[in-house]
Amino acid sequence: MSSRLIDGKAVAAEVDDSLKPRLEALRSRGVNPCLAVVIVGDDPASHVYVRMKGKACEKLGMSHRTHALPESVSEEDVFSLIDELNADKEVHGILCQLPLPPHIDERKVTERIDPRKDVDALHPYNVGHILLGDPLFLPATPAGIMKLLEHTGIGIAGLHAVVLGRSNIVGKPIAAMLMQKGVDATVTVAHSYTRDLPDLTRQADIIIAAVGKPLFVTADMVKKGAVVIDVGTNRIEDTSSEKGYRLVGDVDFEAVKEVASAITPSPGGVGPMTIAMLMNNTVLAAELSLNGTRSL
């Protein structure tokens, strides 16, 4: 068998289209959603991601600001900038591009952002409400994964989902979202200490790979007919490429597509959805600023 491709670019375009009437409604009330991104240092990959977010805002006609700070910036100066953005009524969404330099505490920075502007959904307030099933925002990558699963048309209730990876950005929140009432998957979270991992993944109806290891999930780890979502984006050496490398996911796509019923490519799967759901969160933050949100 050959699996059905889950096209993240196409689904992301549908999300963008769904935002257009909401943006028109906001603009009719004099509001244009604005995303402010704080980036510290000169990490090339981080700057690429920030530019992609800016381009996504421009494509939708939304406003965006990039605050690029030198790696030597003090923690207090980062806090001061976030305080200014929190107080700025024209800024609706704030995110701090990770990773940060070692002398800046990522947790303190995350907790400094007003939860009502925390479009990355990393503030403890938002994380807690995700676990309670009462989210203000959903983190962009897990929300994108849920949209992709919805797009497959499979009924998730009662299925066994194995999440590979337990990060705060992907693994933990997607596990929480999958087990919520109304979704009702049975969820196993695996990690580097998990014993007999291939035996476990072969039991899965859904595999979500977010381990950051190129081509980690092989065909012999996947049950026939499983749905496979590949979150990873990794560089591997490729002397035939002009760049000297190529991008691959955490899943051995060419082999696994012959076993899975549906699979995301990487790149072109989860990545576009992350950007689209970040745009959704920024629009939602602008709507909440007008319509009122629950008190914190």
How many CB atoms lie under 10 A from the CB of residue 10? 12
C-alpha–C-alpha distance, residues 94 and 65, integer Å: 10
Task: Determine which one of 16, 118, 120, 252 is catalytic.
Answer: 120
- Known active-site residue 97: yes
Q: What are phi and psi of 23, to 5 degrees?
A: -65, -40
197: Cβ contacts below 8 Å, ≥ 6 apart? 190, 221
43 is catalytic: no
Token couple for 120: 């990355």
Q: Which of 16, 53, 118, 250 is catalytic?
A: 53
Of the residues 97, 172, 250, 252, only one is catalytic, namely 97
**Catalytic residue check, 180:** no
Give me the active site residues, please: 53, 97, 120
